[in-house]
Structure 1
Amino acid sequence: MTGLSELRWTEKGETRSALWRMDSGAVMPKTVVLADDTLTADSAYRLACAGTGLLWRSDFQNARQLLQAMARRMDQPKKTRAKKATSDAAPAPVPGAAFHAHRLAQSQRNRVLNSILVELDGDYGMALRRAPDVRQACVQAFGPAQGQRSVLSLRSLQGAVGAFEWRKNGVEVPGMGVALRIYPHYGVFSPVRGEYVDLVAQAPLPEALRTQSLAFDVGVGTGVLSAVLARRGVEQVVGTDLSERAVACARDNLQRLGLQNQVSLVKTHLFPTGQAALVVCNPPWLPARPVGLLDQAVYDEGSQMLKGFLAGLHEHLCEGGEGWLVLSDLAEHLGLRSREALLGWIADAGLVVLGRLDAKPVHAKAQDSTDPLYAARSAEVTSLWRLGAAG
């Protein structure tokens, strides 16, 4: 279990403590007060903005309603003062300014909304009126309770319950004309962006697979791309991931799909040993620091995984082999990375571009003109870069 420390508070004149769970990136508050149905949304909002944790001691459903009321306050349009006219030239735009401002606003929003806390007993039960039974969801998310009381944000608990439902029901991902049902685990990013799966399903397979039918799936996640490659006839696929959660999730999905004999899984950073005719990687698309577990699938500080994949690809390709880099250009539209930098990393790694397949995203944010990053999202293109060894 990651991110466990001890949270302390005073209750009925005594100092109490419990383990603090912060898988979602919620920061442990320095000050904790008890909260119940008498607390108004305005008072809760002021305390949360000051960094105070509100440990809920009343009706569970009322805590949910309070959280919703605080969210409405956070999401209200902010009044802005009109800037005084000036003859000075406007300052040059700062690369990535809109993205960083958006992330800062989201971070502040999450910090405030994560202030409502709930306590779980030694078997993940809750001693609150109208509390649901979350024990199975918590075991799947956090592992065995081991008799230890713990505290987490209500939003983190909702995330665990939501992940439990996703894992129970699965999500259909289009691929090869037939939907693959994938069951994401807690802390493993769900393949909700189907266009990248379609690209892997449609790209022409390298001729080298005819003589060496082996592919590597670097950063296996839920295992969806490994499943697509196996369904396309690749005889052996090796999926790698540094996350134990991801490896367990991929193993579960591949067994459900009956592909466990075609795909083997290795917990390691980037590449397994040896060479393959095809090496696929779908790294995090935005070069920024991840905060929670799911952030690690979206944000890659300094583009470390992307650079590491490109730098090591040459030595892991057999003769005539290809590397498939699946990457959105959203970072380019946000001013976080340039196309020239990406092409430079490819060339410096001794690689050449053999071709590229593009797809426009169809998710809701790409169509939402009220989204703060709409200009970048509406221009975004997801690409599968076919890379080969130079010379």
Structure 2
Amino acid sequence: MSRIGFIREAVFSPTVPEQAIVVDDPQEISRPAPSRPPMWVWVLIFIAGAIGLMVMLYVSGARQLSTGSFFIFPMMMVSMVMMMRTRGAGAQKISAAAKNQNRADYLRKLDELRADTHDAARAQAREINYHHPDPCDGSLATLVGSARMWERAPGIRGNWGHVRLGLGVTRLKTKLTPPTKVPPEDLRETVTTVAARDFLRAQNVIHDVPRPLHLFDQMGWSWFYEPGQRATVQGMLRAMVCQLCVFHGPDDVQLAVITDDLPAWEWAKWLPHTADDEYVDACGPLRLIFGDVRAFMDRFAHDVQSRSPFAPLMDGVAPPARWLVVVVDLPGADCAPILGDAGRMGLSVLEATNDERSVVANAECAFVVDNIGNLLRAADSREVR
């Protein structure tokens, strides 16, 4: 096997600036006080008082007002005052045309915010695709030999150990600030309230962007599938291995493959990450490709068993000098000798064995391939099949 020297170089990575988009408060419905009688009531009272006064004047001969008629004047005055007050209140009500104009202004403002949100989402999607290119369209292969090859190192926590798992939904990094003064439910203007709610729900996520998987956050990962879907799972594992080896150098990550389908993994022998550090043959270092778990343990038993139990990486704590990634593409295999009871520090197992008793067959580590090839997270250890 030939060896070609490679020197790492510092490269520029795009970033998405932190920003916030504020959604205005929805409009409020203005309603007159329900306890205030309408104007026609006071008009009717005024007319009744005037008629009553005329009748009393007629009965009395229009020479003098009887004592009982004096109550009519206060009643007429009160009715006149209330008519004026009711008329003034009616003038304050917003007309239908004004309401429609206010709605149009609010929706136009949301359209402007939506355009800003889409610009931020596109910038975030470009950043994600930069760090996690498509392994199927050839873009990943263009990075081989470039300054970006082996750019990720343990001291840089940003994308260390990250590989692209597929396409999915991610949260928008730009903060959408919801309205702060929302009217009570019975006073909310329906059009603007629904528009603000739908805007916050729909624009807070980005669809069809690469979803990375942090290989070193868990002791291992498992995939469960039907027998006819093995080729699909092998394709996922192959893509993950290629990304891992393009962005992580062999001095930081070592790769071993356990499989009974050697033709499907023969290409891995050309990766410098699968080269044995101690044993050689006529072609150079032995390739870390094994036919079963026992053969792997014969080579790595001392190394595996000497590792401490797995613990999540924490800021300020140095990771192991070299991480061992073991791909187990072997249906029915038992990975317990590799993983132990709680995993091993500095070792990650990518397990495609359909073993429900595995320590990584749980809600945090297990994936299920459905009938059409979608990759789903397992709800719990009882639903991995």
**Do the two structures share a fold, i.e. TM-score over 0.5?**
no
Considering fraction of residues, name the structure with more strand: 1
TM-score of Structure 1 vs Structure 2, range by shorter chain? under 0.3
TM-score w.r.t. length of structure 1: 0.23
TM-score w.r.t. length of structure 2: 0.24
Considering fraction of residues, name the structure with more helix: 2
Query: Larger RCO: Structure 1 or Structure 2 (Cα < 8 Å, ≥ 6 residues apart)?
Result: 2
